[in-house]
Structure 1
Amino acid sequence: MPSTTTSYDLVPRILPYLDRLLIFALLEHLSEQKLYPADVLLQAKYDVMKDTNMMDYISETYKSIHGEDATVPQEITERRKDVLEKLVEFEKKAEKMLEIVRNPEVVNALRSDAAQNFSYVKDNYAVTPEMVDILYHYGKFQYNCGKYAEAAEHLYQFRMLSNDPELVISATWGKLAAEIMTLQWENAVSELLKLKELIDQKTFTDPLVQLNHRTWLIHWALFFFFNAETGREKLTDLFLSPAYLNAIQTSCPWILRYVTVTVLTSRNARKTAAGRSSTYATYQKQIRELVRVIKQERYEYSDAVTDFVYALYVDFDFEQAQTKLAESADVVKTDPFLVGSADEFLESARHLVSELYCQIHQRIDIRDLSARLNLSAEEGEKWIVNLIRDTRVDAKINFSEGTVIMNHPPQSVYQQVIERTKGLSFRTNQVLAHMLTTRNATAAVNGAEGGEAQE
């Protein structure tokens, strides 16, 4: 595996699954991180935005690239004029419809049933399907002009009245993007869940189309890392739901980096959401599922973050985990989606190392454990004191000797059988998964050889 953070860069893999304006938002974020040369990012932003309706930005960026004295191409000047004319045209076409949907009487009458809503405005205001569609096209045009709040409003109004399933899904994609661009995270979470529901409930003639929708939604969901306080738990639930975990394994295994970070950091997010025992049980279940998928997909994708989990939970190799934890720190701090969660991830990762290490050993050398956590002796001592206090484990610290004595309560025979059974069940599932993977790979090879023989 590569050892540099540049080789761990996932941006090129993520860009094909993003809307162009979301790509622009990501490039803006990359400019702040200075991970790429400024001139390269500036040209990339121009290439992304040149086909949008944000003509003033296009002109300014062109001059930034070619010099302030450079003459803006005639094509850009003419397009600016066309955009302004179309904007006026849309305003006239949508004027009557906007007056209706903004009428307080209509607002109070609308419900969650779009068919019922359309019948109401049709009977009382002579609204036609074509008039409703104007809201969709106007909202889409506004979005491409960079007027995200207006776009979100018009797309919402359209969705309240339309019975066209394809346009409703498209409008929901647009509204989700608009909410992300305006940093309205609570609204964005709502749109994410609504879009997931539409994708999951819709009957697709081609399953591949549904898979593509889910793959795109997974990538758009990465923007919620920009706001760790909103939607983190929803992200974890989305990534680990069977349909979306299957999509990750099938179409985008590199998302396992983000699945790992959401699962590990959800330990802190769930502390205030439920009782300690139920929260910890949920967390442990998520960890087991994460380990299963990382182990199963290791041949397809791995990086320092997933390798850390593999070293810790599969190999029980603390030295390798220590190395991968150090590499993970560099990776998450240079990943545009994870940089804001870097400290939280490292804290959670150290918790995992500490817990496993303390479960295995009874007498613990503080300096040794500190080194495995990539902390100085002084930092490690403070860390262990806080860990014992927070987790309330039965342990005694001998500061003069620099050791911690763990008091592991003896398990009953019944509990030992239960734990061993759980372990056997887990390993059996791993063996079955490996056998299925091997069988499928063999079948694919045999099929390919058979095809060559026929040729």
Structure 2
Amino acid sequence: MSDLTSQELDIARKYDLTPKVIPFLDRHLVYPIVESLRDLYDDKAIAQLTFDLFKDTNMTSFVKEQWKLINGSDNIPEEITAKEIKIDEIFNKLNTETKELLDILQSQEVQDHLKQDKAFNREYLEKSHGITEDKINALYEFGQFQYNRGDYVMASDLLSNFRVLSTNQELVISSTWGKLASDIIRLDWESSLKELSKLREVVDSRSFSNPLTQLHQRTWVIHWSLFPFFNNENGLEQLLDLFFSSSYLSTIQAASPWILRYLVAAVVSSENSNKNNLSNPIFQKRLKDLIRVVGQEQYEYRDPLTDFIKALYIDYDFNEANAKLNEASVILKTDFFLSNISDIFIENSRHLITEVYCRVHQKINLNEISKNLNLSRDEGEKWIANLIRETKMDAKINENEGTVILNHPVNSVYQQVIEKTKGLSFKANQILASALQKQDSVQ
């Protein structure tokens, strides 16, 4: 049973990105995302989606389980049973075909002879053990088969061994995608990051005859990278370095603007966005770029996280920022990738709201700032007091008035907007006057 209120459920369903990300993920990677949706949709709908995902794979036992859940019957269709028998036959065939080469590769003597040079390794194995191209390719075929069978450990090993020997560049790249997927599903984040780095190097360095092909592959890299980036200790920093690079940021804007949700989440949740690092040049640069791209893409994609940035940094609407932060908290709880950073996102968002609020106002009403932070009056006062102490802000709380006085000169954002508007108005009047003069001279 879902712990979400009906209002929260509506928000979570409205902003569910699953339909957006499915086209850019392998079906095996989609499964954990689908499983995370049980608080949003009923079990039968989840079972149906799971069945549709895996009905064409080699995971016949799993498919049978889903069919029983959907139909409430043990009468499994004959085509599923027949496929199960066929898959067992293929497994036995591929297992036999690859056993010789795998045994050879496990030999200590062979391992001592192998080098980084693939050509040398292939020549050595062919002369010493009669290993042919077909036997090497059988490793790839068996690895692909085992992946589709759900044996991700075996698939990862087979594909790794294949890459050591194969000179077929297309199959090597394909096996790298397969190994990355296997490592993600196995939750091996360290290995996943290594495989991701290899794929990025290939995608970014290859010469593509069609630029759309490179755009498409970068879009896949972006979506697959969400798994290790949001599950690795330094993943957020690596995500920000990649997503803010010009080629990948343009890919996000052109092909997958919904990824802005994860860019916002990473910027706000990164170590550089906490109360002690708000003036950090790296954070300020990223924040500036984020505000720009959120403003550019608001007509293409919007959700509570991007709207929070817009409300706070473009509109300076603190009530709206607080409302969007409340909605964003629902997204953070229900989005598969963001649940790990929910608390830190909310905490850092309050720092950002306070920081902007202090820049805009010299005298702060504690009731009002507490409301904007979605805190009680007492909680808000404690929050501000801690912030002043920890950041050594030149400010003082007046408990009698219920205010905070900032003792540093404030360059009001509102005043900046007013001055810029005045300047634009003056220029517009000059252009209009010039046009009228030209019209009069013509007449």
TM range (shorter): 0.7 to 0.9
* 8 Å contact from structure 2 (residues 121, 165) kept in 1: yes
C-alpha separation in 2, matches of 1:245 and 1:393: 35
C-alpha separation in 1, matches of 2:140 and 2:284: 45
C-alpha separation in 2, matches of 1:363 and 1:111: 70
Matches within 5 A, 1:51-200: 51-67=56-72, 69-122=73-126, 124-200=128-204
Counterpart in the other structure of 1:10: 17
Please tell me the residue identity of whatever aligns with 2:403. Answer: T
1:40 aligns with 2:45: yes
Structure 1 unpaired stretches of 5+: 412-419, 425-455
Q: Provide, for residues 235-282 of structure 1, a one-character-per-residue CA deviation record: whole Å limited to 9, x for no partner.
A: 1212111111111111011111111111111135999xxxx7799211
1:25 aligns with 2:32: yes
Counterpart in the other structure of 2:286: 286
Counterpart in the other structure of 1:427: none
Q: Which stretch shifts more, 379-388 or 56-65?
A: 379-388
Give the length in aligned residue pairs. Answer: 407
* 8 Å contact from structure 2 (residues 360, 410) kept in 1: no
Matches within 5 A, 1:309-388: 309-388=309-388
When residues 220 and 279 of structure 1 are mapped into structure 2, their CA distance, relative to the original with a 3 A threshold, is: farther
C-alpha separation in 2, matches of 1:396 and 1:124: 82
SS of 2:13 mapped into structure 1? coil
Matches within 5 A, 1:202-281: 202-224=206-228, 227=231, 229=233, 231-267=235-271, 280-281=280-281
When residues 105 and 43 of structure 1 are mapped into structure 2, their CA distance, relative to the original with a 3 A threshold, is: same
* 8 Å contact from structure 2 (residues 57, 148) kept in 1: yes
When residues 409 and 279 of structure 1 are mapped into structure 2, their CA distance, relative to the original with a 3 A threshold, is: closer
When residues 116 and 355 of structure 1 are mapped into structure 2, their CA distance, relative to the original with a 3 A threshold, is: farther
Q: Which stretch shifts more, 98-107 or 280-289?
A: 98-107
When residues 100 and 22 of structure 1 are mapped into structure 2, their CA distance, relative to the original with a 3 A threshold, is: same
CA positional deviation for 1:230: 5.0
When residues 39 and 226 of structure 1 are mapped into structure 2, their CA distance, relative to the original with a 3 A threshold, is: farther
Q: Taking every aligned residue pair, what percent have the same amino acid on both sides?
A: 45
C-alpha separation in 1, matches of 2:290 and 2:116: 37
CA positional deviation for 1:376: 1.5
Please tell me the residue identity of whatever aligns with 2:296. Answer: Q
When residues 270 and 282 of structure 1 are mapped into structure 2, their CA distance, relative to the original with a 3 A threshold, is: farther
TM-score, normalisation: structure 1: 0.83
Structure 2 unpaired stretches of 5+: 1-9, 421-443
Please tell me the residue identity of whatever aligns with 2:76. Answer: V
CA positional deviation for 1:6: 2.2
C-alpha separation in 2, matches of 1:321 and 1:248: 24
CA positional deviation for 1:112: 4.8
CA positional deviation for 1:362: 2.3
TM-score, normalisation: structure 2: 0.85
* 8 Å contact from structure 1 (residues 308, 325) kept in 2: yes
Q: Which stretch shifts more, 18-27 or 335-344?
A: 335-344
* 8 Å contact from structure 1 (residues 225, 340) kept in 2: no
Q: Which stretch shifts more, 232-241 or 331-340?
A: 331-340
When residues 410 and 375 of structure 1 are mapped into structure 2, their CA distance, relative to the original with a 3 A threshold, is: closer
C-alpha separation in 2, matches of 1:269 and 1:162: 45
CA positional deviation for 1:356: 1.1
Please tell me the residue identity of whatever aligns with 1:49. Answer: F
CA positional deviation for 1:389: 3.5
* 8 Å contact from structure 2 (residues 362, 410) kept in 1: no
Please tell me the residue identity of whatever aligns with 1:38. Answer: D
Please tell me the residue identity of whatever aligns with 1:97. Answer: L
What is the CA RMSD across the aligned residues, in angstroms?
2.7
* 8 Å contact from structure 1 (residues 225, 338) kept in 2: no
